[in-house]
Amino acid sequence: MSELLVQERNVVVPGEALAQGMDFLPGDNTYREKDQIYSKVLGLVSVSGRVIKITPLSGPYLPKTEDKIIARVIDITISGWRFETATAYSAMLNVRDATTRFVKKEEDLSQILSIGDYAVVKIVNVTSQNLIDLTMKEPGLRRISGGRIISINSQKVPRVIGRQGSMITLIKDKTGCDITVGQNGLIWIKGTSEGELKAEKAIKLIEAKAHLEGLTEKMERFLGESA
């Protein structure tokens, strides 16, 4: 009785019927109405067993706990910093989550992070109203100095990183840059000027072709050529 109306990796639009019948289950970015399952976003179909989900091709970043993001200090409060996170919501970093050393009561917080600074931080808590708490007290989390920051759509971040980091390792090796990818779509590149430019070009190319298959080979070619 039940019937799949689309195929794996098809591009679907919001409201497009994906399956007919109760044997299929609605996964991420889909919904059921009566016995039909519909898409909720513009994206690619992926079916695993009985579950149909849609991988969005674009869209806003939704903050999640444990996500490493890159954010910019926009304000200093009595007990910490407020960050802009490239979403509709700002995030708070408390002094005691910012550094391992003791911070005296009357100390000037801008000595640690001042307004306009970027930092690599991790989300520790998100409320239902999307209030975000951050930490900077783990290895790899720190204030950003030097290099450049570029921004891509956050839905493309998994492709930039690649399976087990294969893509990002490839770019790092070929350009000699240090690259940190935030889940919110901000990327910090630090290296030689030529290397930074090349890495930026490579990442923008991945963003444009993220929905295609065989991307790693393509990137190997691209980075090999311009070397």
Partner 1 sequence: MTYTKRVDGRKIEELRPMEAKAGVVKNANGSASFKIGKTWAIAGVYGPREVVPRFMANPRHGILRCHYTMMPFSGSGERIKPGRSRRAQEISMVMEQALAPVIDLSAFPNSVVDIYVELPQTDAGTRCAAISAACMALADAGIPMKDMVSSVAVGQVDGMVVADLNYNEESYPAIVSDIPVAMLHNSKEISLLQMDGEISKEDLLKALELAKVATEKVYQLQVKALKEKYALNNEEN
Which residues of the shown chain bind partner 1 in the complex (CB under 8 A)? 11, 13-17, 29, 31, 33, 38, 40-43, 56-60, 62, 87-90, 128-130, 155, 208-209, 211-212, 218
Q: Which is nearer to partner 1, 41 or 109 (CB)?
A: 41
Task: Report, in Å, the least distance between residue 210 CB and partner 1.
Answer: 9
Task: Report, in Å, the least distance between residue 208 CB and partner 1.
Answer: 7
Q: Which is nearer to partner 1, 28 or 178 (CB)?
A: 28
Task: Report, in Å, the least distance between residue 30 CB and partner 1.
Answer: 10
- Quick check: 189 and 200 in contact, CB under 8 A? yes
CA 95 to chain centre: 25
95 burial level (CB within 10 Å; 0-12, 13-18, 19+): middle
What CA–CA distance (Å, rounded) separates 108 from 80? Answer: 11
**Terminal alpha carbon distance of the chain:** 56
Task: Report, in Å, the least distance between residue 222 CB and partner 1.
Answer: 12
Q: What are phi and psi of 107, to 5 degrees?
A: -70, 150
Question: Six-digit token pair at 210?
Answer: 């993220």
Alpha carbon distances (Å) from 148 to 72, 137, 209: 13, 23, 22
How many separate helices (H) and strands (E) can be counted in the chain? 4, 17
Q: Which is nearer to partner 1, 143 or 209 (CB)?
A: 209
Q: Which is nearer to partner 1, 128 or 193 (CB)?
A: 128
Task: Report, in Å, the least distance between residue 220 CB and partner 1.
Answer: 14
Q: Which is nearer to partner 1, 22 or 62 (CB)?
A: 62
